Chains A and B, each alone.
Chain A
Amino acid sequence: MRRVSLPAVTAVALLVAYSMVFFSAPIEEDQGFVQKIFYLHVPLAIVTLCGFIAGAVMAGMYLCSGNREWDARSYVAVHISLILGVGGLITGSIWAKASWGHWWVWQEPTLVSYLIILLLFCCYQPLRFAIEDPERQARYAAVFALTGGAFIPVNFIAVRMAAAYTHPRVFQVTGAQLPLSMGITFVAALAAIALLFATMFRFELRAKALRRRVRALERVASDQLDEIRAPRREPAPAGDGAPGVPRPAAPIAIRS
Protein backbone atom coordinates (compact mmCIF):
# COMPACT_ATOMS: atom_id res chain seq x y z
CA MET A 1 0.00 0.00 0.00
CA ARG A 2 1.30 3.44 -0.90
CA ARG A 3 2.02 5.70 2.06
CA VAL A 4 0.27 9.04 1.98
CA SER A 5 2.63 11.95 2.46
CA LEU A 6 1.89 14.22 5.41
CA PRO A 7 2.63 17.52 3.57
CA ALA A 8 0.16 16.52 0.81
CA VAL A 9 -2.53 15.65 3.37
CA THR A 10 -1.89 18.97 5.15
CA ALA A 11 -2.13 20.95 1.92
CA VAL A 12 -5.44 19.26 1.02
CA ALA A 13 -6.79 19.74 4.56
CA LEU A 14 -5.90 23.45 4.54
CA LEU A 15 -7.45 23.91 1.12
CA VAL A 16 -10.67 22.10 2.08
CA ALA A 17 -10.98 23.78 5.49
CA TYR A 18 -10.46 27.33 4.25
CA SER A 19 -12.67 26.75 1.19
CA MET A 20 -15.37 25.76 3.70
CA VAL A 21 -14.66 28.94 5.70
CA PHE A 22 -15.20 31.23 2.73
CA PHE A 23 -17.71 29.32 0.64
CA SER A 24 -19.91 27.22 2.93
CA ALA A 25 -19.85 28.58 6.50
CA PRO A 26 -22.61 31.16 7.00
CA ILE A 27 -21.76 34.79 7.70
CA GLU A 28 -22.31 35.53 11.36
CA GLU A 29 -25.13 38.00 12.00
CA ASP A 30 -23.52 40.11 14.71
CA GLN A 31 -19.98 40.55 13.40
CA GLY A 32 -20.47 39.88 9.73
CA PHE A 33 -17.58 38.93 7.46
CA VAL A 34 -14.92 39.78 10.08
CA GLN A 35 -15.93 36.64 12.00
CA LYS A 36 -14.04 34.61 9.33
CA ILE A 37 -10.88 35.43 11.31
CA PHE A 38 -12.28 33.16 14.04
CA TYR A 39 -11.48 30.08 11.88
CA LEU A 40 -7.83 31.11 11.76
CA HIS A 41 -7.20 32.77 15.11
CA VAL A 42 -8.83 30.21 17.43
CA PRO A 43 -7.25 27.07 15.84
CA LEU A 44 -3.86 28.84 15.90
CA ALA A 45 -4.26 29.67 19.60
CA ILE A 46 -5.43 26.14 20.51
CA VAL A 47 -2.66 24.41 18.53
CA THR A 48 -0.06 26.79 20.02
CA LEU A 49 -1.07 26.02 23.60
CA CYS A 50 -1.29 22.27 22.88
CA GLY A 51 2.14 22.48 21.22
CA PHE A 52 3.65 24.07 24.33
CA ILE A 53 2.08 21.33 26.46
CA ALA A 54 3.41 18.68 24.03
CA GLY A 55 6.85 20.30 24.31
CA ALA A 56 6.58 20.09 28.10
CA VAL A 57 5.59 16.39 27.96
CA MET A 58 8.54 15.66 25.64
CA ALA A 59 10.83 17.57 27.99
CA GLY A 60 9.55 15.35 30.81
CA MET A 61 10.30 12.29 28.68
CA TYR A 62 13.84 13.57 28.20
CA LEU A 63 14.31 14.11 31.92
CA CYS A 64 13.01 10.57 32.63
CA SER A 65 14.91 8.74 29.90
CA GLY A 66 17.97 10.91 29.21
CA ASN A 67 17.39 10.26 25.48
CA ARG A 68 18.50 13.34 23.51
CA GLU A 69 15.91 12.64 20.82
CA TRP A 70 13.20 13.75 23.28
CA ASP A 71 15.11 16.95 23.91
CA ALA A 72 15.22 17.66 20.16
CA ARG A 73 11.49 16.95 19.87
CA SER A 74 10.69 19.21 22.81
CA TYR A 75 12.81 22.01 21.31
CA VAL A 76 11.10 21.70 17.91
CA ALA A 77 7.60 21.59 19.46
CA VAL A 78 8.27 24.78 21.43
CA HIS A 79 9.84 26.48 18.39
CA ILE A 80 6.89 25.75 16.08
CA SER A 81 4.37 26.65 18.78
CA LEU A 82 6.10 30.01 19.09
CA ILE A 83 5.80 30.65 15.34
CA LEU A 84 2.11 29.69 15.28
CA GLY A 85 1.61 31.61 18.54
CA VAL A 86 2.89 34.81 16.96
CA GLY A 87 0.43 34.16 14.12
CA GLY A 88 -2.38 33.70 16.66
CA LEU A 89 -1.42 36.90 18.47
CA ILE A 90 -1.33 39.03 15.31
CA THR A 91 -4.55 37.59 13.87
CA GLY A 92 -6.25 38.10 17.25
CA SER A 93 -5.09 41.68 17.32
CA ILE A 94 -6.45 42.30 13.81
CA TRP A 95 -9.77 40.75 14.84
CA ALA A 96 -9.87 42.91 17.97
CA LYS A 97 -9.30 46.04 15.90
CA ALA A 98 -12.05 45.04 13.47
CA SER A 99 -14.67 44.18 16.08
CA TRP A 100 -13.75 46.17 19.22
CA GLY A 101 -11.98 49.09 17.56
CA HIS A 102 -8.71 48.50 19.46
CA TRP A 103 -5.61 46.53 18.50
CA TRP A 104 -5.11 45.45 22.10
CA VAL A 105 -7.18 45.58 25.30
CA TRP A 106 -5.02 45.36 28.41
CA GLN A 107 -8.06 44.82 30.69
CA GLU A 108 -8.88 41.58 28.91
CA PRO A 109 -7.48 38.57 30.85
CA THR A 110 -7.55 36.15 27.89
CA LEU A 111 -5.36 38.39 25.74
CA VAL A 112 -2.91 39.28 28.48
CA SER A 113 -2.56 35.68 29.70
CA TYR A 114 -1.90 34.49 26.14
CA LEU A 115 0.74 37.19 25.75
CA ILE A 116 2.35 36.16 29.07
CA ILE A 117 2.56 32.52 27.95
CA LEU A 118 4.05 33.55 24.62
CA LEU A 119 6.61 35.83 26.26
CA LEU A 120 7.46 33.08 28.75
CA PHE A 121 8.27 30.67 25.94
CA CYS A 122 10.13 33.42 24.05
CA CYS A 123 12.71 33.10 26.87
CA TYR A 124 13.18 29.39 26.10
CA GLN A 125 15.61 29.85 23.21
CA PRO A 126 17.82 32.56 24.75
CA LEU A 127 18.04 30.41 27.91
CA ARG A 128 18.91 27.34 25.89
CA PHE A 129 21.60 28.94 23.77
CA ALA A 130 23.12 30.84 26.67
CA ILE A 131 24.41 27.49 28.02
CA GLU A 132 27.35 25.95 26.19
CA ASP A 133 27.53 22.48 27.72
CA PRO A 134 25.03 20.39 25.67
CA GLU A 135 24.01 18.18 28.62
CA ARG A 136 23.28 21.13 30.88
CA GLN A 137 21.62 22.98 28.01
CA ALA A 138 19.20 20.11 27.41
CA ARG A 139 18.48 19.62 31.11
CA TYR A 140 17.82 23.30 31.91
CA ALA A 141 15.70 23.72 28.75
CA ALA A 142 13.67 20.64 29.71
CA VAL A 143 13.00 21.99 33.21
CA PHE A 144 11.98 25.35 31.71
CA ALA A 145 9.64 23.74 29.14
CA LEU A 146 8.10 21.54 31.81
CA THR A 147 7.44 24.49 34.13
CA GLY A 148 6.05 26.61 31.29
CA GLY A 149 3.84 23.75 30.12
CA ALA A 150 2.46 23.24 33.62
CA PHE A 151 1.67 26.96 33.75
CA ILE A 152 -0.72 26.74 30.75
CA PRO A 153 -3.63 24.78 32.34
CA VAL A 154 -3.30 26.80 35.56
CA ASN A 155 -3.45 29.98 33.52
CA PHE A 156 -6.43 28.70 31.52
CA ILE A 157 -8.42 27.93 34.69
CA ALA A 158 -7.53 31.30 36.22
CA VAL A 159 -8.73 33.16 33.13
CA ARG A 160 -11.97 31.16 33.03
CA MET A 161 -12.57 32.10 36.65
CA ALA A 162 -12.12 35.81 35.89
CA ALA A 163 -15.49 37.53 36.16
CA ALA A 164 -15.31 40.39 33.70
CA TYR A 165 -14.22 39.89 30.14
CA THR A 166 -15.12 41.08 26.69
CA HIS A 167 -13.54 38.13 24.92
CA PRO A 168 -16.36 35.79 23.80
CA ARG A 169 -16.64 32.29 25.29
CA VAL A 170 -17.61 30.11 22.35
CA PHE A 171 -16.79 26.77 23.95
CA GLN A 172 -18.52 26.04 27.25
CA VAL A 173 -18.77 22.97 29.45
CA THR A 174 -22.26 22.47 28.02
CA GLY A 175 -20.91 22.44 24.45
CA ALA A 176 -19.97 24.81 21.66
CA GLN A 177 -22.17 27.87 21.17
CA LEU A 178 -22.02 27.50 17.41
CA PRO A 179 -24.50 26.39 14.75
CA LEU A 180 -23.62 23.01 13.22
CA SER A 181 -22.35 24.41 9.88
CA MET A 182 -19.97 26.76 11.70
CA GLY A 183 -18.95 24.00 14.12
CA ILE A 184 -18.01 21.59 11.30
CA THR A 185 -16.02 24.30 9.55
CA PHE A 186 -14.25 25.15 12.79
CA VAL A 187 -13.32 21.47 13.41
CA ALA A 188 -12.00 21.23 9.81
CA ALA A 189 -9.89 24.38 10.32
CA LEU A 190 -8.60 23.09 13.67
CA ALA A 191 -7.62 19.75 12.09
CA ALA A 192 -5.88 21.55 9.21
CA ILE A 193 -3.84 23.75 11.57
CA ALA A 194 -2.98 20.71 13.73
CA LEU A 195 -1.77 18.93 10.58
CA LEU A 196 0.26 22.02 9.67
CA PHE A 197 1.90 21.81 13.09
CA ALA A 198 2.66 18.10 12.57
CA THR A 199 4.17 18.76 9.12
CA MET A 200 6.36 21.59 10.38
CA PHE A 201 7.39 19.45 13.36
CA ARG A 202 8.52 16.58 11.14
CA PHE A 203 10.19 18.89 8.64
CA GLU A 204 12.21 20.67 11.32
CA LEU A 205 13.16 17.44 13.09
CA ARG A 206 14.51 16.08 9.80
CA ALA A 207 16.39 19.30 9.12
CA LYS A 208 17.93 19.08 12.59
CA ALA A 209 18.92 15.44 11.98
CA LEU A 210 20.56 16.43 8.69
CA ARG A 211 22.58 19.19 10.37
CA ARG A 212 23.61 16.75 13.13
CA ARG A 213 24.82 14.30 10.47
CA VAL A 214 26.82 17.03 8.75
CA ARG A 215 28.48 17.95 12.04
CA ALA A 216 29.29 14.28 12.72
CA LEU A 217 30.74 13.94 9.22
CA GLU A 218 32.82 17.05 9.77
CA ARG A 219 34.25 15.49 12.92
CA VAL A 220 34.99 12.20 11.12
CA ALA A 221 36.54 14.04 8.17
CA SER A 222 38.66 16.12 10.51
CA ASP A 223 39.92 12.98 12.31
CA GLN A 224 40.65 11.18 9.03
CA LEU A 225 42.59 14.12 7.67
CA ASP A 226 44.61 14.23 10.87
CA GLU A 227 45.39 10.51 10.48
CA ILE A 228 46.39 10.95 6.83
CA ARG A 229 48.63 13.86 7.67
CA ALA A 230 50.20 12.48 10.86
CA PRO A 231 52.74 9.96 9.43
CA ARG A 232 53.76 12.23 6.57
CA ARG A 233 56.93 14.10 7.33
CA GLU A 234 57.50 16.86 4.86
CA PRO A 235 60.54 19.07 4.84
CA ALA A 236 59.67 22.51 6.03
CA PRO A 237 60.37 25.38 3.68
CA ALA A 238 63.59 27.28 4.28
CA GLY A 239 63.43 29.47 7.34
CA ASP A 240 60.19 27.88 8.52
CA GLY A 241 61.15 25.84 11.60
CA ALA A 242 63.37 22.75 11.95
CA PRO A 243 63.56 20.25 9.02
CA GLY A 244 61.54 17.08 9.37
CA VAL A 245 59.01 18.58 11.73
CA PRO A 246 55.52 17.78 10.44
CA ARG A 247 53.61 20.72 9.18
CA PRO A 248 50.51 21.31 11.31
CA ALA A 249 47.39 19.99 9.68
CA ALA A 250 45.13 22.64 8.26
CA PRO A 251 41.91 22.34 10.19
CA ILE A 252 38.65 21.92 8.37
CA ALA A 253 36.46 24.91 8.87
CA ILE A 254 33.63 23.69 11.08
CA ARG A 255 30.51 25.69 10.77
CA SER A 256 28.15 25.84 13.67
Chain B
Amino acid sequence: MPALPLGDAGKYVAMAYIVLLALLAIYIGIMARKIARAEHRMSELDELLRERQR
Protein backbone atom coordinates (compact mmCIF):
# COMPACT_ATOMS: atom_id res chain seq x y z
CA MET B 1 0.00 0.00 0.00
CA PRO B 2 1.59 3.31 -1.02
CA ALA B 3 2.13 5.86 1.73
CA LEU B 4 0.22 9.11 1.19
CA PRO B 5 2.68 11.77 0.00
CA LEU B 6 1.40 14.73 1.94
CA GLY B 7 3.90 17.13 0.40
CA ASP B 8 3.15 19.41 -2.53
CA ALA B 9 1.35 16.79 -4.63
CA GLY B 10 -0.76 15.57 -1.70
CA LYS B 11 -1.91 19.11 -1.04
CA TYR B 12 -3.31 19.46 -4.57
CA VAL B 13 -4.92 16.00 -4.58
CA ALA B 14 -6.56 16.68 -1.21
CA MET B 15 -7.78 20.06 -2.48
CA ALA B 16 -9.41 18.47 -5.56
CA TYR B 17 -11.24 15.79 -3.57
CA ILE B 18 -12.32 18.27 -0.88
CA VAL B 19 -13.80 20.53 -3.60
CA LEU B 20 -16.09 17.73 -4.77
CA LEU B 21 -17.09 16.81 -1.21
CA ALA B 22 -17.83 20.48 -0.45
CA LEU B 23 -19.96 20.82 -3.61
CA LEU B 24 -21.93 17.71 -2.70
CA ALA B 25 -22.37 18.88 0.89
CA ILE B 26 -23.69 22.27 -0.31
CA TYR B 27 -26.06 20.59 -2.78
CA ILE B 28 -27.39 18.14 -0.18
CA GLY B 29 -27.77 20.96 2.36
CA ILE B 30 -29.80 23.13 -0.04
CA MET B 31 -31.98 20.23 -1.18
CA ALA B 32 -32.58 19.06 2.41
CA ARG B 33 -33.68 22.58 3.38
CA LYS B 34 -36.08 22.77 0.42
CA ILE B 35 -37.57 19.36 1.23
CA ALA B 36 -37.92 20.19 4.94
CA ARG B 37 -39.71 23.42 4.03
CA ALA B 38 -42.08 21.59 1.66
CA GLU B 39 -42.84 18.94 4.28
CA HIS B 40 -43.46 21.60 6.92
CA ARG B 41 -45.83 23.44 4.58
CA MET B 42 -47.62 20.18 3.82
CA SER B 43 -48.22 19.45 7.51
CA GLU B 44 -49.38 23.06 8.01
CA LEU B 45 -51.90 22.67 5.19
CA ASP B 46 -53.05 19.33 6.53
CA GLU B 47 -53.65 20.83 9.97
CA LEU B 48 -55.44 23.84 8.50
CA LEU B 49 -57.81 21.68 6.45
CA ARG B 50 -58.56 19.40 9.41
CA GLU B 51 -59.35 22.44 11.52
CA ARG B 52 -61.70 23.83 8.88
CA GLN B 53 -63.51 20.54 8.41
CA ARG B 54 -64.25 20.23 12.14
Contacts and interface: CB of A to CB of B under 8 A. Distances in A.
Can you list the 7 inter-chain pairs with the closest CB atoms, starting with the nearest? Answer: A98-B12, A33-B9, A91-B16, A34-B9, A37-B16, A94-B16, A33-B5
B52 A224 contact: yes
Contacts of A6: none
Residue of A34, A40, A252 with most chain B CB atoms under a 10 A cut-off: A34
Interface of A is mostly: helix
Nearest to B26: A83
Interface of B is mostly: helix
Contact of A210 (B17, B23, B38, B49): B38
Interface of A: 18, 22-23, 27, 32-34, 36-37, 40-41, 44, 83, 86-87, 90-91, 94-95, 97-98, 200, 203-204, 207, 210-211, 213-214, 217-218, 221, 224-225, 228, 252, 255
Contacts, number: 80
Interface residues of B, number: 28
B52 A210 contact: no
